[in-house]
């Protein structure tokens, strides 16, 4: 078996960093060419964030779909035990949540401390994401957050945001 020189290892590390940035910023075509050239689809950064996690968290829908088509592990956790679905739910990216669920993401997976993607969505006022995750079998509809349903929590968060920002509710729904 051939071993890599220190220079080759350093260059491969640089390429991985570039790929992670491409995932984060939605440079889908360039990232896909790297995958076609042999880059592993589940490469991760020092914190365990995979290409899929970074694309999902940053709202890069096309990149998420491309990575899934290359076999990215849909429930791969980072060092904080978070999944791509947890990140997308937290940010309110409904279309990305749908793509991840369609690819087999666990809707009720523990994303650290017993928190699920539905809880993340609720606590940040992502009503649309809460409703979608519940519609596809999320047990979150039975779980209560400080005694309230996730949907009620999400709506309350939106209402409070509206009071402080003056923005109409529909602009806050994700």
Q: What is the pLDDT of residue 171?
A: 43
Read off the pTM: 0.84
| Beta strands, E only, the chain | none
Residues 11 and 17: their CA atoms lie apart, in Å, by: 10
Q: What is the 3-state secondary structure of the chain?
A: CCCCCHHHHHHHHHHHHHHHHHHHHCCHHHHHHHHHCCCCCCCECCCCCEHHHHHHHCCCHHHHHHHHHCCCCCCCCCCCCCCHHHHHHHHCCHHHHHHHHHCCCCCCCCCCCCCCHHHHHHHCCCHHHHHHHHHCCCHHHCCCECCECHHHHHHHHHHHHHHHHCCCHHHHCC
Domain boundaries, the chain: 6-172
Query: Which two structure tokens, joined as six digits, stand for 101?
Result: 């669920």
Q: What is the pLDDT of residue 154?
A: 78
6-172 maps to CATH 1.25.40.20: yes
Q: What is the pLDDT of residue 125?
A: 86
Across the chain, which has 174 residues, the per-10-residue mean pLDDT values are: 86 95 98 97 97 98 98 97 97 98 94 88 88 78 66 78 68 45
Q: What is the pLDDT of residue 173?
A: 45
């Amino acid at each position: 078996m051939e071993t890599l020189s220190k220079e080759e290892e350093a260059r491969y590390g640089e390429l991985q960093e570039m790929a992670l940035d491409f995932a984060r910023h939605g440079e889908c075509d360039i990232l896909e060419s790297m995958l076609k050239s042999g880059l592993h689809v589940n490469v991760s950064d020092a914190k365990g964030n995979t290409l899929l996690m970074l694309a999902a968290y940053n709202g890069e829908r096309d990149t998420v779909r491309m990575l899934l088509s290359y076999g990215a592990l849909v429930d791969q956790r980072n060092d904080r035990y978070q999944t791509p679905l947890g990140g997308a739910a937290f940010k309110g990216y409904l279309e990305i949540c749908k793509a991840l669920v369609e690819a087999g993401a666990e809707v009720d997976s523990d994303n650290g401390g017993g928190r699920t993607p539905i809880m993340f969505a609720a606590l940040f006022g992502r009503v649309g994401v809460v409703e979608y995750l519940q519609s596809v079998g999320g047990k979150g509809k039975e779980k209560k957050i400080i005694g309230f349903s996730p949907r009620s929590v999400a709506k309350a968060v939106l209402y409070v945001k509206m009071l402080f920002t003056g923005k109409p509710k529909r602009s806050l729904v994700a």
